[in-house]
Amino acid sequence: MDPELKKALDEIHALTKDNHDMLRAIRRDQWLGFIGRVIVWLIVLALPLYLYQQYLQPLVSKFSTTQGVSTSGLFGFPTAAEVQKILNSFQGK
């Protein structure tokens, strides 16, 4: 084999190997970045819900309790039967 051809072939092989290593590093960084973004968004979306459940919801439930009215209707509103029961209790007094 011609020495110049062998030198060129070795140089191409070294460049190809270097290119392959760089592409693998880029792909690995892309995966790590994707996983990092998923974790960050999970924290951003889940942290307010957790903080609400731990700290704010007990306070809200403590101050929003009303005597004799349950919030079993749609969106927490009393049902028609419950409203009628409240009206009857006021009319009876």
pLDDT band of residue 82 (cuts 50, 70, 90) is confident
Tens digit of each residue's pLDDT (9 = 90 or more) over 7-40: 999 999 999 999 999 999 999 999 999 999 999 9
Q: How many domains are contained in the chain?
A: 1
Q: Which domain holds residue 75?
A: 3-92
Structure-token pair, residue 92: 């009876």
Q: What is the pTM of this model?
A: 0.53
* Residue 68, pLDDT score: 52
Name which of 5-14, 33-42, 60-69, 84-93 the model is least confident about.
60-69
Summary count for the chain: helices (H), strands (E)? 3, 0
Q: Contact at 8 Å (CB) between 70 and 78?
A: yes
Nearest one of 81, 80, 87, 86 to 67, comparing CA atoms? 86
